[in-house]
């Protein structure tokens, strides 16, 4: 006869063993996929919708200087067609922008909620200290910020740089050459700036990872020393940005003057065309100005990814000295 009791016991045992293994393996859970690629892959539907709206918004923004120039020229000749075109452009831009901003908040707050939960669960499974878990959870917000703020900045910069050059080429192809001369010094300065900010961001994050431990266990001298060091890293990051900005502004001034002199020397251009060209030159420059902020943020994310993506034996010290 079959021993159903034994067989049932074996069946029950075999069903329960995987659960025991899973419970034993849970502390060794795989690290959370804290990366730009992983976050986009998981939430690409929400992100693609908001970026589509943002592209339409930027196409309308790109048309604004031309619409303003058209309105100025028509008003100087007692015509109103350009004014109505400007009104239509502005109202369309306002409507699309408002819808996109309302959707952005809903989409990215839900994305951060999921990401923070994944990071905390993953870090707890690796037996990290609470202070590091709290710091890394807060740092992970910068990944969502990248998609919410910095990807739109990249898109906006693309329209400002490429779109403005295309529009300037319609007015005078030589203006593309004049503005293009700004790209080489920008590349050189931002390469150096990227290396500098990566080093400084690493020092700042090393310091922040110990903040909760110091607040809980340290006295007044230790707390003061911690915040002084953190402030020191932030000041050095700010100084690096200021130096990069100042050097770029020298080249930008040369581009503005040369473009205005070139276009105004072409016979007798209309007032609206001069205004439109000047606005497109400024749009191009604003696009170039945003590159250092993107470089700094990428350096910060590169360092944060190393901390939140996988466990590190032995941990870190309190960071390099200032």
Q: How does DSSP classify residue 314? A: T
pLDDT above 60 for 16: no
Residue pair 283/63 in contact by the 8 Å Cβ criterion: no
129 closest CA partner among 210, 204, 47, 60: 210
81-90, 167-176, 241-250, 287-296: least confidently modelled range: 287-296
The HSE-up count of residue 31 (CA atoms within 13 Å, CB side) is 15
State the average pLDDT for the chain.
79
The CATH number, out of the four listed (3.40.50.300, 1.10.10.10, 3.40.50.720, 1.20.1560.10), of the domain defined by the range 32-309 = 1.20.1560.10
pLDDT for 237: 87
Reported in sequence order, the residue ranges of the chain that DSSP labels E, i.e. its strands, are none
Predicted pLDDT of residue 164: 93
Distance CA 88, CA 92 (A): 6
pLDDT at 180 (0 to 100): 85
- What's the pLDDT score for residue 72? 94
Number of helices (H), then strands (E), in the chain: 14, 0
How remote is the C-alpha of 85 from its chain's centroid? 33
> Residue 94 and residue 105: Cα distance in Å, rounded?
17
pLDDT at 33: 56
**Both tokens of residue 8?**
């049932």
pLDDT digits 0-9 by tens, 94-144? 999 999 999 998 888 888 888 878 778 877 777 777 767 776 677 677 778
Q: What is the DSSP string of 84-124?
A: HHHHHHHHHHHHHHHHHHHHHHHHHHHHHHHHHHHHHHHHH
Q: Looking at the predicted structure, is the pLDDT value of residue 247 above 50? A: yes
Measure Cα distances from 80 to 70, 87, 92, 289 in Å: 10, 11, 19, 35
Contact 71, 86 (CB under 8 A): yes
Rounded mean pLDDT, 266-288: 88
CA angle 283, 89, 174 (to 5 degrees): 35
pLDDT of residue 126: 77
Question: For residues 26-44, b (16+ Cβ closer than 10 Å) or e, as one string?
Answer: eeeeeebbbeeebbeeebe
């Amino acid at each position: 006869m079959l021993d159903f009791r034994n067989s049932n016991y074996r069946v029950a045992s075999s069903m329960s063993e995987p659960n025991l293994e899973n419970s034993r393996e849970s502390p060794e859970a795989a690290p959370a996929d804290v990366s730009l690629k992983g976050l986009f892959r998981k939430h690409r539907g929400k992100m693609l919708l908001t970026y589509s709206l943002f592209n339409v918004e930027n196409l309308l923004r790109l048309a604004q200087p031309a619409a303003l120039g058209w309105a100025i020229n028509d008003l100087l000749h007692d015509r109103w067609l350009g004014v109505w075109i400007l009104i239509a452009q502005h109202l369309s831009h306002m409507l699309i922008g408002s819808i996109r901003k309302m959707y952005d908040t809903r989409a990215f707050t839900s994305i951060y909620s999921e990401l923070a939960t994944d990071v905390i669960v993953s870090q707890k499974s690796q037996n990290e200290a609470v202070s590091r878990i709290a710091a890394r959870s807060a740092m992970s917000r910068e990944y969502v910020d990248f998609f919410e703020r910095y990807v739109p900045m990249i898109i906006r910069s693309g329209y400002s740089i490429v779109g403005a050059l295309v529009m300037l080429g319609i007015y005078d192809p030589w203006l593309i050459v004049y503005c293009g001369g700004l790209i080489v010094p920008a590349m050189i300065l931002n390469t150096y700036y990227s290396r500098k900010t990566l080093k400084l961001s690493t020092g700042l994050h090393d310091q922040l990872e110990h903040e909760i431990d110091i607040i809980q266990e340290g006295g007044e001298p230790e707390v003061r020393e911690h915040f002084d060091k953190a402030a020191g890293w932030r000041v050095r990051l700010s100084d690096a940005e200021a130096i990069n900005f100042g050097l770029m502004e020298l080249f930008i001034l040369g581009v503005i003057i040369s473009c205005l002199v070139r276009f105004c020397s072409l016979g007798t251009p209309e007032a609206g065309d001069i205004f439109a060209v000047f606005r497109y030159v400024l749009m191009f420059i604003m696009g170039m100005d945003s590159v250092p902020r993107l470089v700094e943020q990428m350096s910060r994310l590169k360092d944060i990814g190393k901390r939140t993506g996988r466990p590190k034996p032995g941990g870190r010290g309190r960071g390099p000295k200032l």
